């Protein structure tokens, strides 16, 4: 007995000191100040041990510290003006502390800033092009609004009063038809079956020789088709076309020729055309302006230019040493021995031969055997961007001054016969004109609709060929051509070759002509110079002609008679709802839903919203596999699968299960919400006592939400005892988009059967 008592005390002490494995992980995170992880693990402990005070205290402390940490991060991001990341941090802080009013205020303030930024950006994006698109087809004229645009069924096989036919048409379409005093009633037979209201009205107008004037959207007046009535009743519209690319003077001529508009003028300062005409004329003008006011095509042209100069000089033979005054001369003469002795010369000035010395003059010569070879290469690679129909020029060279001299005129002679003064004049006046010398390229492109480019090229190569003259002598070589190539295709121009060869012979007359001795008594010089130009041109289309299928379709302007009626655009048509995504499947009837429930096809619809939405495809969250059969004691995984997610930023999922049949071992992140590189918080909490799982996934920052299909989470279960367990989404489950708005969503339940 004495041995048993200590053993019992030890067992009681051991049980009281036992802590779950999650406690160690949670405390380790708590000590390392990893508050998110600590809050997560202590939350699990609180769900499993709701009566444990220590767990609750630690959980509250971890949540409080985690909230402070994320508030601090949010402030830092806010100072950096990274508002998306700041809001993401503040949202996490609110998740830990939903009562923090400061965080609510900061989120609202940041949202207000973001709205202002968006409004400012929207104002910048509101360009003249968007304004033109918005105003296209609007002219302030009333538009008829018949009750239906479906074909009518009116048939008058026998001659019937026009007024009765008009009244029948008005009754069928809900349009009130009035008659002018000039209207003349008569009997006609007409078949209007299968026609829309507009076509039936136009057929009646042509058959009866009338036209109509729209009073308001439900009223027209019928008038006799005369010039006086048109002048009295026809609508006139003034419209200003602000042009972005077309030239006003050219467009004015085109509109006057094609539409018959006489009241038209162009304003070159504002680059616009102002017209006044009938609705029919304005409609045609709208179409013409839309098709012609477009940007010109643009291309970039890559030039690869290479100039190669080669020279070869050979000199061989005798050459005078004095190159300034070269001479091959031989002479002889007497020179007195003493210039100061008068006896050396006779009285007649002759030199005394007895007292003189003979002198012989022989030229100083040098042997020249020079060979000189020179090569030079100049390379240029300019790139130009030019619009279609415009000229682009490139000059690689210099400007050379050319002197021009003129003389002032003489003023004549003034004064009397005894005292005359000569006129002043003939003074030289020199001015300089600069001429471009080097390589000059001119190119004019044209872009074709099939992607070809036509280049009109002119290449001019000039150089100074003689500098010794009073004026420099300039030589030119010019090539002009037109080529058509594909975009990116290279054209080569070569063969602008210049060859010059110069040979000279200097020597002693006679001896220089001897076949063998001429090399000893002469100097031969041979100089060869070659210059070659090679150029490659490669065009690239930067902006081509933006021609779409609608631009190629013909546009009917009607005949002269039909032009008396407003165009069909003056009949209001039924507005169709624009859909950016495909329509979902048709909603199930009540009977089908009941049948689905009988088959355990239970669908939890978020917030009680109808599945009849035609504007949005619902975001779907489902279990995979939807139905599984397991043996008791087995561990198994169920995947939470996301489908049709579009710009989703947050998911809050609450799932219930039968804790008597299965229990949760772990919930792991599927990674779908952060696959695009944006960090996302994943906070799962489960309660095996009450059979509930809560999963919150919140993206931290990013410029948009997550879209697509993928795995949200993997839930690890353990089968406990035989039975059927429904994995059911609670109505409080929500999915929010990037703007923090709840989206239309569908949650499909799952089922687990344990044997």
**Sheet strands (E) in 555-634:** 603-605, 619-624, 627-630
Q: What angle do CA 80, 82, 84 make, to 5 degrees?
A: 155
Q: What is the mean pLDDT of the chain?
A: 76
Q: pLDDT tens-digit profile of 172-198?
A: 888 899 998 888 888 988 888 888 888
CATH code of the region 619-754: 2.60.40.680
Nearest to 466 by CA among 503, 502, 506: 502
Q: What is the pLDDT confidence band of residue 603, given thresholds at 50, 70 and 90?
A: very low
Q: pLDDT tens-digit profile of 326-368?
A: 555 666 666 666 555 444 445 555 556 666 666 656 665 566 6
Nearest to 518 by CA among 319, 317, 315: 317
Both tokens assigned to 547: 């021609």
Q: What angle do CA 466, 470, 473 make, to 5 degrees?
A: 30
pLDDT at position 94? 86
Q: What is the pLDDT confidence band of residue 563, given thresholds at 50, 70 and 90?
A: low
Beta carbons within 10 angstroms of residue 540's beta carbon: 15
Q: What is the pLDDT confidence band of residue 265, given thresholds at 50, 70 and 90?
A: confident
Q: Is 199 exposed, middle or buried (0-12, 13-18, 19+ CB in 10 A)?
A: middle
521 versus 345: the higher-pLDDT residue is 521
Terminal Cα-to-Cα distance of the chain (whole angstroms): 46
- Give the whole-angstrom CA distance, residue 534 versus residue 496: 7
- Strand 627-630 vs strand 750-754: parallel, antiparallel, or unpaired? parallel
What residue segments make up the domains of the chain, in order of their start?
A: 20-138, 155-233, 237-294, 375-405+427-543, 619-754
How long, in residues, is the chain?
755
pLDDT at position 142? 76
pLDDT at 574 over 60: no
* Range in 157-171, 390-404, 634-648 the model is least confident about: 390-404
* Range in 254-263, 555-564, 571-580, 629-638 the model is least confident about: 571-580
- Give the whole-angstrom CA distance, residue 735 versus residue 668: 19
343 versus 270: the higher-pLDDT residue is 270
CB crowding 238-256: b at 16 or more within 10 Å, else e: ebebebeebebeebbebbe
Please report how the helices 21-31 and 35-48 are oriented relative to each other, as an axis angle in degrees rounded to 10: 150
Beta carbons within 10 angstroms of residue 658's beta carbon: 18
Indicate the SS3 state at residue 348.
coil
pLDDT at position 130? 65
Task: For 19-34, give the DSSP string.
Answer: --HHHHHHHHHHHTT-
- Strand 219-224 vs strand 237-242: parallel, antiparallel, or unpaired? unpaired
Mean pLDDT of the 488-494 span? 81
Q: Tell me the range of 406-415, 607-616, 707-716 where mean pLDDT is highest.
A: 707-716
CB crowding 552-590: b at 16 or more within 10 Å, else e: eeeeeeeeeeebbbbbeebbeeeeeeeeeeeebeeeeee
368 versus 502: the higher-pLDDT residue is 502
Q: Are 162 and 180 in contact (CB under 8 A)?
A: no
- Strand 237-242 vs strand 210-216: parallel, antiparallel, or unpaired? unpaired
Nearest to 374 by CA among 569, 501, 530: 530
pLDDT at position 593? 39
pLDDT at 745 over 70: yes
pLDDT at position 726? 92
Q: Tell me the range of 259-263, 350-354, 723-727 where mean pLDDT is highest.
A: 723-727
pLDDT at position 730? 92
Q: What is the pLDDT confidence band of residue 470, given thresholds at 50, 70 and 90?
A: low
| Phi, psi at 115, each rounded to 5° | -60, -40
* 237-294 matches 20-138 in CATH topology: no
Q: Half-sphere exposure (CA, 13 Å, Cβ side) for 285?
A: 31
Cα separations in angstroms, 347 against 350, 357, 407 = 7, 19, 58
pTM > 0.85: no
Mean pLDDT of the 298-313 span? 77
pLDDT at position 725? 92
Q: Tell me the range of 11-25, 390-404, 738-752 where mean pLDDT is highest.
A: 738-752
pLDDT at position 693? 92
- Strand 383-387 vs strand 298-320: parallel, antiparallel, or unpaired? antiparallel
pLDDT at position 662? 92
CATH code of the region 237-294: 3.30.1370.120
pLDDT at position 335? 66
- Cis peptide upstream of residue 140 (ω within 30 degrees of 0): no
Q: Are 128 and 266 in contact (CB under 8 A)?
A: no
Q: Which DSSP letter does residue 570 get? A: G
pLDDT at position 595? 39
- Give the whole-angstrom CA distance, residue 279 versus residue 138: 10
Q: What is the pLDDT confidence band of residue 399, given thresholds at 50, 70 and 90?
A: confident
Q: What is the pLDDT confidence band of residue 604, given thresholds at 50, 70 and 90?
A: very low
- Strand 428-447 vs strand 392-407: parallel, antiparallel, or unpaired? antiparallel
Q: What is the pLDDT confidence band of residue 590, given thresholds at 50, 70 and 90?
A: very low
Both tokens assigned to 528: 């060869």
- Give the whole-angstrom CA distance, residue 444 versus residue 454: 8
Mean pLDDT of the 708-717 span? 88
pLDDT at position 741? 85
pLDDT at 10 over 70: no
pLDDT at position 656? 93
CATH 3.90.320, applies to 20-138: no
Which residue is associated with the tokens 């009765």?
A: 164
pLDDT at 611 over 50: no
Q: Are 726 and 751 in contact (CB under 8 A)?
A: yes
- Give the whole-angstrom CA distance, residue 509 versus residue 486: 66
pLDDT at position 117? 83
Which residue is associated with the tokens 């990674």?
A: 671
- Strand 210-216 vs strand 155-161: parallel, antiparallel, or unpaired? unpaired
Mean pLDDT of the 615-623 span? 73
pLDDT at 608 over 90: no
| Phi, psi at 406, each rounded to 5° | -130, 165
Mean pLDDT of the 16-30 span? 74
CB crowding 113-149: b at 16 or more within 10 Å, else e: eeeeeeeeeeeeeeeeeeebeeeeeebeebebbbeee
Q: pLDDT tens-digit profile of 643-701?
A: 888 888 889 899 999 999 999 999 988 888 887 778 888 888 888 988 999 898 988 66
Element containing residue 369 per DSSP (H, E): strand 365-380
- Strand 750-754 vs strand 187-191: parallel, antiparallel, or unpaired? unpaired
Q: Which DSSP letter does residue 608 get? A: G
Nearest to 494 by CA among 535, 539, 555: 535
Architecture per CATH, domain 155-233, reads as 3-Layer(bab) Sandwich (3.55)
Q: Are 650 and 680 in contact (CB under 8 A)?
A: no
Q: Is 673 exposed, middle or buried (0-12, 13-18, 19+ CB in 10 A)?
A: buried
């Amino acid at each position: 007995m004495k041995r048993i008592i200590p053993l019992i005390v030890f067992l009681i002490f051991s049980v009281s000191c036992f802590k779950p494995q999650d406690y160690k992980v949670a405390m380790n995170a708590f000590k390392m100040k990893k508050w998110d992880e600590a809050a997560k693990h202590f939350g699990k402990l609180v769900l499993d041990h709701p009566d444990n005070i220590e767990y609750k205290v630690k959980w509250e402390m971890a949540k409080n510290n985690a909230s402070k940490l994320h508030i601090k991060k949010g402030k830092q991001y806010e100072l950096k003006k990274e508002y998306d990341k700041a809001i993401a941090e503040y949202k996490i802080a609110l998740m830990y502390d939903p009562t923090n009013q400061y965080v609510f205020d900061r989120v609202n303030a940041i949202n207000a800033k973001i709205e202002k930024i968006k409004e400012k950006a929207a104002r910048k994006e509101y360009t003249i092009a968007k304004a033109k698109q918005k105003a296209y087809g609007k002219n302030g004229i009333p538009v008829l609004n018949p009750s239906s645009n479906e074909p009518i069924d009116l048939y008058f096989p026998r001659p019937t009063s026009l007024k009765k036919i008009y009244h029948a048409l008005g009754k069928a379409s809900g349009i009130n038809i009035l008659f002018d005093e000039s209207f003349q009633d008569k009997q006609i037979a007409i078949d209007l079956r299968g026609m829309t209201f507009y076509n039936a009205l136009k057929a009646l107008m042509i058959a009866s020789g009338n036209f109509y004037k729209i009073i308001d959207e439900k009223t027209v007046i019928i008038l006799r088709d005369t010039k006086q009535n048109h002048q009295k009743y026809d609508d006139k519209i003034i419209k200003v076309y602000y042009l972005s690319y077309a030239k006003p003077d050219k467009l004015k001529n085109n509109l006057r020729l094609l539409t018959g508009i006489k009241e038209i003028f162009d304003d070159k300062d504002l680059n616009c055309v102002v017209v006044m005409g009938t609705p029919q004329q304005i409609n045609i003008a709208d179409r013409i302006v839309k098709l012609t006011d477009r940007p010109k095509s643009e291309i970039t042209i890559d030039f690869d230019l290479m100039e190669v100069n080669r020279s070869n000089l050979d000199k061989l033979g005798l050459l005078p040493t004095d190159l300034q005054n070269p001479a091959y001369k031989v002479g002889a003469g007497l020179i007195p021995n003493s210039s100061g002795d008068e006896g050396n010369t006779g009285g007649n000035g002759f030199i005394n031969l007895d007292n003189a010395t003979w002198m012989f003059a022989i030229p100083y010569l040098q042997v020249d055997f020079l060979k000189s070879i020179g090569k030079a290469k100049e390379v240029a690679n300019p790139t130009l961007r030019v619009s279609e129909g415009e000229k682009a020029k490139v000059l690689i060279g210099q400007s050379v001054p050319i002197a021009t001299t003129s003389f002032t005129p003489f003023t004549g002679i003034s004064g009397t016969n005894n005292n005359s003064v000569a006129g002043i004049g003939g003074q030289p006046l020199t001015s300089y004109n600069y001429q471009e010398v080097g390589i000059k390229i001119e190119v004019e492109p044209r872009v074709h609709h099939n992607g070809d480019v036509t280049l009109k090229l002119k290449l001019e190569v000039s150089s100074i060929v003689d500098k010794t003259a009073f004026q420099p002598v300039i030589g030119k070589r010019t090539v002009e051509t037109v080529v058509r190539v594909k975009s990116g295709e290279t054209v080569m121009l070569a063969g602008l070759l210049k060859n010059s060869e110069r040979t000279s012979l200097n020597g002693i007359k006679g001896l220089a002509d001897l076949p063998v001795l001429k090399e000893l008594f002469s100097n031969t010089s041979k100089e060869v110079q070659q210059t070659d130009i090679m150029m490659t041109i490669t065009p690239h289309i930067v902006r081509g002609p933006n021609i779409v299928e609608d631009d190629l379709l013909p546009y009917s302007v009607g005949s002269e008679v039909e032009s008396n009626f407003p165009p069909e655009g003056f009949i209001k048509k039924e507005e169709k709802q624009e859909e950016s995504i495909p329509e979902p499947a048709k909603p199930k009837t009540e009977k089908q839903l009941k049948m689905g429930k009988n088959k355990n096809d239970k669908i939890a619809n978020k917030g009680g919203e109808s599945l009849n939405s035609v504007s949005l495809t619902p975001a779907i969250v489902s279990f995979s596999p939807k139905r599984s059969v397991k043996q008791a004691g087995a561990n198994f995984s169920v995947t939470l699968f996301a489908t049709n997610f579009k710009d989703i930023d947050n998911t809050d999922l609450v799932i219930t299960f039968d804790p008597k049949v299965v229990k949760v071992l772990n919930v792991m992140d599927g990674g779908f919400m952060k696959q695009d590189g944006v960090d996302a918080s994943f906070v799962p909490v489960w309660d095996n006592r009450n059979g509930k799982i809560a999963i919150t996934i919140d993206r931290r920052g990013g410029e948009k939400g997550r879209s697509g299909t993928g795995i949200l989470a993997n839930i690890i279960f353990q089968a406990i005892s035989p039975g059927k367990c429904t994995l059911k989404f609670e109505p409080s489950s929500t999915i929010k988009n990037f703007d923090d708005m709840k989206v239309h969503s569908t949650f499909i339940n799952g089922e687990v059967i344990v044997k």
